[in-house]
Amino acid sequence: MRRFRLKGIENYSPTCQCERCQGMCKRIPCKGTPTEMQRIIDAGLGYQLQLDWWSFSDFDLTLGKSRELKKVYILAPGIKWTDGANYPRDIFKPCECQLFIGGKCQVHGTKPLLGRIARCGRDADNDIFADFYNAVALIVVRMWSRPEGKKVIRDWRKRFI
């Protein structure tokens, strides 16, 4: 079984709190690894998480030929103004992260990986950064498809649903 590692970026910590960065928190919660979501649960914020999913094809993960579309369940910070344990899928409704309070991320120093590597500057719009971000996202979704990721979800459901 191949293990996926995020050497070099797993400890990257953001320092920016500009308006554009805050705008990302107001648009959609950031996704992270099972270990990061477990840290949020351990910090007493598990009630702020919700069940979400990523759909992808095997093509995305193997860079080979495309097969069936798969759905992988993940935990992510919840969206404000929603009820229940599942994300709304209406892209026209506000999707502010529940951990974004008073203009600040409540887990800023340890926020989920895809939020930490998101960029507010000019390089955020270039293709090389987009390719890097998407590659990391695919590694993260792969982590959730492993037994360790499924266990975090199972334990969270037992405790919070």
CA 51 and chain centroid, separation: 11
Domain of 134, in residue numbers: 19-160
Does 25 map to a domain? yes
Distance CA 77, CA 40 (A): 9
pLDDT digits (tens, 9 = 90+) for 109-143: 778 888 888 777 655 556 666 777 778 888 898 89
Return the pLDDT at 152: 97
Q: Which residues contact 113 (CB under 8 A, 6 or more apart)?
A: 6, 9, 10, 30, 31, 32, 33, 36, 136, 140
Q: What pTM, to 2 d.p., does this model score?
A: 0.76
Does 39 map to a domain? yes
* CB burial of residue 50 (10 Å; 0-12, 13-18, 19+): buried
The total number of structural domains that make up the chain: 1
Return the pLDDT at 7: 53
Terminal alpha carbon distance of the chain: 32
pLDDT digits (tens, 9 = 90+) for 54-86: 876 554 555 555 556 678 999 999 887 654 445
